[in-house]
Structure 1
Amino acid sequence: MRILLFTGKGGVGKSTIAAGTAALAAAGGHRTLVLSTDAAHSLADAYGVPVGAEPTQVADRLFVQQVDAQLRFQQSWAEIQGYLLSVLDVAGVDPVAAEELTVIPGAEEVLALLELRLHALSGAWDVVVVDCAPTAETLRLLALPEALGWYMQRVFPAERRIVKALRPVLTRAAGVPMPADDVFDAVERLHAELDEVRQLLSGPGSSVRIVLTPESVVLAEARRSHTTLSLYGYRVDGVVANRVFPAEDADDWRAGWVLAQDEVLAQVEQSFGDLPVWRSVYRPREPIGVEALTALAREVYAGTDPLAPPAGDGPFRVQRTATGAVLHLALPGVSRDDVDLARNGEELVVTVGSYRRLLTLPAGLARFQVAGARVVDGELQVRFRETPAATGPTTETTTDTTDTTDTAGTAGTAERRHG
């Protein structure tokens, strides 16, 4: 199954491009589902037909679904929210305010992606196109399983046993109800499902496509999204430059826009390495309906295969050497000054700007020491030597191209899969 996710700054036309790509896939004979995880659903507007919370057929082999995030939230969060509400009730918090406090910001968008897991397990589709929320925020939130991994593996089992054994005593001592087994079960289930989604989206059959318009501010955000997506292990397979003014027959006013866009488009070509950059010209009217969207996609992809699987090994790979190994992590657009690297026991902590990813090293590397690190052509390379690490927890920090090692401390969490 091929999974394509479309993201981009709000208002760049990502929903239109996603809808067109799905329509073109269906026209090519693929059983295609396009679903929206964006709270501001617009797929129904793009296709010009009513679309519900279940897959709705809009053309031959083409189905559309606008995920009911609230329903998914209730299914996956109900037990946890019920416990939190009982705690807030004891604390005297107003019930309406308590319900608001028990909703994690961004949780609805993340939980909506659980729908993708169900469709992948169903085997009913050849292609699934996902119209994500603006920017890469939804995908960034999928780092949640990694952040929870350390807690789920090391703390959660012991905490569950303690609470189960001492629940009556703890309830009286704390003055608030302790979580029951169904709450712990819900946390475990939610974590496992989110982890499956992340593995699915970082796998070889999935990729992200960034949609932008030829504007400097939009391009800057697209660059950051590309870096962040790579940091968290997602493959970006191309960029769509939307609403490009055609140069032909441009009057003086439009000629100025054409010139300004050409300058930004030249930067776009330089910003994304070897990734294809498809262009969609500005149209006098919005493409609405299956036929118009299919025609748009045919023009955008211009004879190339829009469903071609992403090339390469993905953002993360390990290369064996004569003296140890080298860990490679693609960080496009990043320089040595942007990266901070720390080693804490079996975990490697990579920080780029305000974003941090914590990786549990593969078993073959965990016993090696970090010999140095550098950033080369937008790729972080961490060298490991075969000298066994000291017994017990170790903490070391390595910074960029100088291949030097310093000391620092950062807590780590576990990564379950490397893509």
Structure 2
Amino acid sequence: MLFTGKGGVGKTSVSAATALLCARSGLRTLAMSTDPAHSLADSFDVPLGADPTEVAPGLDAVQLNAQARLEDNWRDIQDYLVALLRWSGIGEVQAEELSVLPGLEEIFSLIDVQQFASRGTYDLIVVDCAPTAETLRLLSLPDALGWYMERIFPIERKVARVVRPVLGQMTSMPLPADALHGSVERLYRNLEDVRDLLADTETTSVRLVTNPERMVIAEARRTYTYLSLFGYHVDAVVVNRLIPDAVTDPWFDTWKARQVEHLATIAESFGEVPLLRAPLFDDEMVGTGRLEELGAELYGNAKPHEMLYVGTPLTFETTDDGWELGVSLPFVAKGEVDAFHRGGELYLKIGAYTRSILLPAALQRSAITRASLDDGVLSITFQTVRGNQRDVPR
């Protein structure tokens, strides 16, 4: 169970509270943090390290050692990059810095998630992920590497074996050894295993944490679309830090009115995905007592360890001409839905209600060419726009 959201929305507290409730129900639970700015230890008010530490009966917690994972998975590749950069005239310190790409620590941390899952020691693993930008980069990396690994990498490896002896006599430029190709392949296989685990909708779900604020909601909507694009399953949206009704000070009236509007936007944007609500508390949610209080507000009588929503509200498939977007619209008949594309969003109007879906960049540059509704699924075909053509049929 992965928790992600824009930085500062309270995802660490929400994930810790969820893990604690699940452990209280009798599940052997592990709470993990892959965020380089670890705060899981602060949330439980217990020192944590790279090895699981018991923080409550049935609940262990761990803050992954991102630097160790970097050493395990990137050292051979980094050594070659450093040698290549130094050969080009870059100083050693600068070469060391440039050889580590932004976000690698978070990416390699999730390899540990797969390893813990494969051991079978725990019934449930709750992951406090890095903020959404890093999480999306992580989840998309295996797909981005897949094309290269399947098509170019085998050819490149064979060519390198042939030309290395010849080029070695002609240039002083460091050439990749076969062991380096092995390190690249091992890294890809590790990430592929992570991808397979996280994309298994029967065992893994994502819960988006947001606040009732315009910019935070926009980030959550964007994340939801891209998670759907890569096949990850969102089973709940957590709306955190709502001003309670008990707060009657007139100073908060404008804030409360805006929150009502933002809640309506959230409900409209995420369709049938359940919304979990938590109030803004009067103190920090630190320690197991306060976390249990937060969990009770979030889940009520629901069972937090169960899949709260099963379905595929958004699907993306490639076609010969472009993309096909599938939107689940149960109980809707033909003629009751109107779809139109404006700017970077797709709008679906059903009766008096309108739902907007933030589209991926590739679809924002495309036009709707066909739409059909069959068996409760609206299928919309997008075709890449040529030149300055912007034909957007309804």
* TM-score normalised per structure 1: 0.78
Residues 1:15 and 2:12 are matched in the alignment: yes
Aligned to 1:311: 310
Aligned to 1:235: 233
SS in 2 for 1:198: helix
Question: What is the CA-CA distance between 1:286 and the residue it aligns to?
Answer: 1.1
Residues 1:36 and 2:33 are matched in the alignment: yes
Question: What is the CA-CA distance between 1:61 and the residue it aligns to?
Answer: 1.1
Aligned to 1:195: 192
Aligned to 1:267: 265
- Structure 1 CA distance for aligned equivalents of residues 328 and 94 of structure 2: 41
User: In 2, are the aligned partners of 1:31 and 1:126 still within 8 Å (CA)?
Assistant: yes
- Structure 2 CA distance for aligned equivalents of residues 153 and 138 of structure 1: 24
User: In 2, are the aligned partners of 1:5 and 1:209 still within 8 Å (CA)?
Assistant: yes
2:109 alignment partner AA: A
**Cα distance change of structure 1 residues 406 and 269 upon mapping to structure 2, 3 Å threshold:** closer
Question: What is the CA-CA distance between 1:166 and the residue it aligns to?
Answer: 2.1
**Cα distance change of structure 1 residues 257 and 328 upon mapping to structure 2, 3 Å threshold:** closer
**Cα distance change of structure 1 residues 406 and 16 upon mapping to structure 2, 3 Å threshold:** closer
SS in 2 for 1:287: coil
- Structure 2 CA distance for aligned equivalents of residues 257 and 88 of structure 1: 53
Picking from 196, 199, 216, the partner of 1:218 is 216
Question: What is the CA-CA distance between 1:222 and the residue it aligns to?
Answer: 1.1
User: In 2, are the aligned partners of 1:7 and 1:208 still within 8 Å (CA)?
Assistant: yes
Aligned to 2:168: 171
Aligned to 1:72: 69
- Structure 1 CA distance for aligned equivalents of residues 87 and 189 of structure 2: 30
User: In 2, are the aligned partners of 1:163 and 1:170 still within 8 Å (CA)?
Assistant: no
Picking from 348, 355, 361, the partner of 1:354 is 361
Provide, for residues 126-147 of structure 1, a one-character-per-residue CA deviation record: whole Å limited to 9, x for no partner: 1111111112431333212211
2:180 alignment partner AA: V
Matches within 5 A, 1:115-264: 115-204=112-201, 205-264=203-262
Aligned to 2:392: none
SS in 2 for 1:280: strand
2:120 alignment partner AA: G
Question: What is the CA-CA distance between 1:68 and the residue it aligns to?
Answer: 0.9
**Cα distance change of structure 1 residues 6 and 251 upon mapping to structure 2, 3 Å threshold:** same
2:144 alignment partner AA: A
2:205 alignment partner AA: S
Picking from 253, 275, 279, the partner of 1:277 is 275
User: In 2, are the aligned partners of 1:237 and 1:275 still within 8 Å (CA)?
Assistant: yes
User: In 1, are the aligned partners of 2:54 and 2:60 still within 8 Å (CA)?
Assistant: yes
User: In 2, are the aligned partners of 1:6 and 1:130 still within 8 Å (CA)?
Assistant: yes
Aligned to 1:367: none
Provide, for residues 47-74 of structure 1, a one-character-per-residue CA deviation record: whole Å limited to 9, x for no partner: 0010111111111111111111111011
Q: Which moved more, 1:244-253 or 1:119-128?
A: 244-253
**Cα distance change of structure 1 residues 153 and 382 upon mapping to structure 2, 3 Å threshold:** farther
User: In 1, are the aligned partners of 2:4 and 2:135 still within 8 Å (CA)?
Assistant: no
SS in 2 for 1:192: helix
Question: What is the CA-CA distance between 1:339 and the residue it aligns to?
Answer: 8.4
Aligned to 2:334: none
- Structure 2 CA distance for aligned equivalents of residues 120 and 14 of structure 1: 21
* TM-score normalised per structure 2: 0.82
1:49 alignment partner AA: V
- Give me the identity figure in percent: 44
Unaligned runs of 5+ in 2: 318-322, 330-338, 347-357, 364-368, 388-394
Provide, for residues 346-396 of structure 1, a one-character-per-residue CA deviation record: whole Å limited to 9, x for no partner: xxxxx944368xxxxxxxxxxxxxxx754879977378xxxxxxxxxxxxx
SS in 1 for 2:205: strand
SS in 2 for 1:26: helix
User: In 2, are the aligned partners of 1:287 and 1:293 still within 8 Å (CA)?
Assistant: yes
**Cα distance change of structure 1 residues 88 and 374 upon mapping to structure 2, 3 Å threshold:** same
Unaligned runs of 5+ in 1: 319-325, 341-350, 357-371, 384-397, 400-404, 409-419
Question: What is the CA-CA distance between 1:255 and the residue it aligns to?
Answer: 2.9
Question: What is the CA-CA distance between 1:192 and the residue it aligns to?
Answer: 0.9
Q: Which moved more, 1:287-296 or 1:6-15?
A: 287-296
**Cα distance change of structure 1 residues 295 and 406 upon mapping to structure 2, 3 Å threshold:** closer
User: In 1, are the aligned partners of 2:142 and 2:188 still within 8 Å (CA)?
Assistant: yes
**Cα distance change of structure 1 residues 249 and 158 upon mapping to structure 2, 3 Å threshold:** closer
**Cα distance change of structure 1 residues 283 and 352 upon mapping to structure 2, 3 Å threshold:** closer
Question: What is the CA-CA distance between 1:172 and the residue it aligns to?
Answer: 3.2
SS in 1 for 2:121: coil
CA RMSD after TM alignment: 3.0
Aligned to 1:53: 50
- Structure 1 CA distance for aligned equivalents of residues 209 and 131 of structure 2: 10
Over 4 Å off, 4+ runs:
313-318, 326-332, 337-340, 375-380, 405-408
Question: What is the CA-CA distance between 1:291 and the residue it aligns to?
Answer: 2.5
- Structure 1 CA distance for aligned equivalents of residues 325 and 198 of structure 2: 20
Q: Which moved more, 1:287-296 or 1:373-382?
A: 373-382
- Structure 2 CA distance for aligned equivalents of residues 80 and 145 of structure 1: 17
